[in-house]
């Protein structure tokens, strides 16, 4: 959703932008069902645009509801990241202060 926040894209363009960093490998067959669901849920809008390089392309952009949801999810994600970072900075407890969990099978 973040890629569509400021700029509209067609399917292949979206796959290319998301795959550029090399950290994620997507195929068009993966992205189109996601875009269709976001469209059905009113989070993106789509429109057909004539192309100079071939057939028309279906472009996708976030709606105002999509932008609002992205902002909310982004805040929650930032909170989660900060909680994980806090947890990683907590000093190790000694063996004596740790509570042990005992699980017994019935």
Supply the CATH number for residue 73's domain.
1.10.10.10
Are the beta carbons of 48 and 32 closer than 8 angstroms?
A: no
Give the chain's mean pLDDT.
Answer: 86
Q: Residue 19 above 70 pLDDT?
A: yes
Residue 94 forms part of a structural domain: no
Residue 3 forms part of a structural domain: no
DSSP assigned state of 22: S
- Of 36, 2, 29, 32, the closest CA to residue 17 belongs to 2
Q: How far apart are CA 70 and CA 74, in angstroms?
A: 6
User: Residue 42's domain spans which residues?
Assistant: 9-80
- pLDDT given at position 87: 72
Tally of domains within the chain? 1
Alpha-carbon dihedral sign for residues 12, 21, 77, 92: positive
Position of tokens 């709606």? 63
Residue 85 forms part of a structural domain: no
Digit-coded pLDDT (tens) for 26-76: 888 889 999 999 999 999 999 999 999 899 999 999 999 999 999 999 999
């Amino acid at each position: 959703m973040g890629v569509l926040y400021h700029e509209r894209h067609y399917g292949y363009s979206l796959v290319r932008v998301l795959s550029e960093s090399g950290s994620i490998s997507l195929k068009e067959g993966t992205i189109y069902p996601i875009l269709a669901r976001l469209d059905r849920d009113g989070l993106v809008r789509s429109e057909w645009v004539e192309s100079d390089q071939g057939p028309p392309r279906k472009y996708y952009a976030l709606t105002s509801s999509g932008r609002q949801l992205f902002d909310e999810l982004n805040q929650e994600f930032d909170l989660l990241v900060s909680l994980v970072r806090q947890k990683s900075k907590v000093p190790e407890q000694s063996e004596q202060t740790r509570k042990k969990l005992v699980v017994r099978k019935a």
